[in-house]
Structure 1
Amino acid sequence: MSYQNDIDEFHAFLESEGLKIETFKYMDARNYLSVLYDKSLKRSTVSRKISTLRSYYHFLIEIGAVENHPFLSLPFPRKEKKLPTFLYENEINALFESLDQSSKMYLRDKAILELLYATGIRASELITLKRERIDFNYQIIKVYGKGSKERIVPFNESAKSSLVEYIEHFKKHIDHHDSLWLNYRLEPLTIRGLRHVLDMMVKKSAENFDLHPHMLRHSFATHLLNNGADIRAVQELLGHESLQTTQKYTHISKEQLRKTYLNTHPGNQKR
């Protein structure tokens, strides 16, 4: 359906501009691309329309209706870079406050939330973390990230306290399974199980967002940069190969700063 709509829209453009499909040239195609951009369409939508017209002209050439392909060399728009989603500090606090202290797994849930937010480690890094890789004296963990590359990540006093309390309470089961994280049946927790744990946290907090481990990782990085952390230090903590990967979090900071300015500066208020 969208294919036919794209074709119809193109023919409407030809008619409005007094152009003919047989004599339509590359520069006309560039002009049409500008018209699409002026409509504030998503880049993915523009790409689809250009792809449709490329296929359409392939067909027209095959049947001998046209000789030239004006869209063949037309570049596709670059994909939109989505900024990572993150939680504000008050949303993080709401998650902690919503944890059910009467729950059998309260200590585990608190320790998971504390460690994910305190370190920014990935879900896979959390699940595979072993007890012996945690140094409580120096408050650091040894993490094996992508490509089995090792890095050292510090954690705060709050995360330390939660981890110690959790490990002491479930020590027998942790030692038996040689797994730091346990599910409700006191068996090793999986990635899927971790996602369920986080989903339940959100439901109990009555917050309206989809929580996943990477959102806590994004929040960790964003909050560090917002509070003046050096970007290369954040890169090291996250285990990013490229600084460019870490720089996406500065875009979040800048956008947050812009919104704060627009919402609070008196000069931006209607007079």
Structure 2
Amino acid sequence: MKRRNFIATAAAGTAGAATTSLSAQSMASPKKEFKLKNNINHSVAQWCFASYPLEEFLAILKDLGVKGIDLIGPDNFTLLKKYDIHCAMCNGAELGLTDGFNEPKNHEQLIKNYKEVIPKVADAGYTNLICFSGNRRGMDDYVGLQNCYEGLAQLMPIAEKHGVVLQMELFNQINHPDYMCDSSLWGVELCRRLDSDNFKLLYDIYHMQIQEGDIINSIKQYHQYFGHYHTAGVPGRNEIDETQELYYPAIIKAIHETGFEGYVAQEFIVSWEDKIAALKDALLRCDI
């Protein structure tokens, strides 16, 4: 076969196969039988489905058999109780992503906020409450680490008293330029200094794939410091299907094998027209 004919034929075949594959994926994946095994505790970040009113979305989660929802504050705890949906990661005490515990001037307000919200989280029967390092703004990482330690150490007694776990989220530098807690090792060192079961890291798989990679090895090595997981596809932060580079079934298997009993939350930006079909597909990929 002449090279030019071979290339033309192969290109046509590849294009046809790709079209068929994408078509099959978009058509077939949502039609999989949906039944969760629940060996993994599933949650969903509410902000990714903000086009649905919260109560409507809670009803959808209830119907799907999803037990948890992420990033809800005390004002909506009563509504979660109505649908028996667990708040797997609470919020409402933080000052934002960029102003966190690495800056001493924030400590007074942060400590006040967390002392108010921690009992509300506990009274509702929830466990996890998010927190952030804040941006560097020229600060040395070691100085920021010590500042975070000094601020958070003041909250550990009340967190321990109420059985609430403060969890600092890891971010990458592409989406969150200048954020300080952008390294597993930096976060693990903070955990070691605080030396409390009531402080953990929220390990965002999407962010850490971009920032440092080696996801499964990090989970195996540092899982005792990871209290919660977030998912999303890389690149693009979209669905966790074959359009991205991470293979989530293997990642979830590694998480499960560590004995993890917390929640894995879907936190991807939906690109499918049928948002709930996309959620179902992601949940099944993370259900082992």
Q: Same fold (TM over 0.5)?
A: no
Which protein has the bigger strand share? Answer: 2
TM-score normalised by the chain length of structure 2: 0.24
- Structure number with greater Rg is 1
Which protein has the bigger helix share? Answer: 1
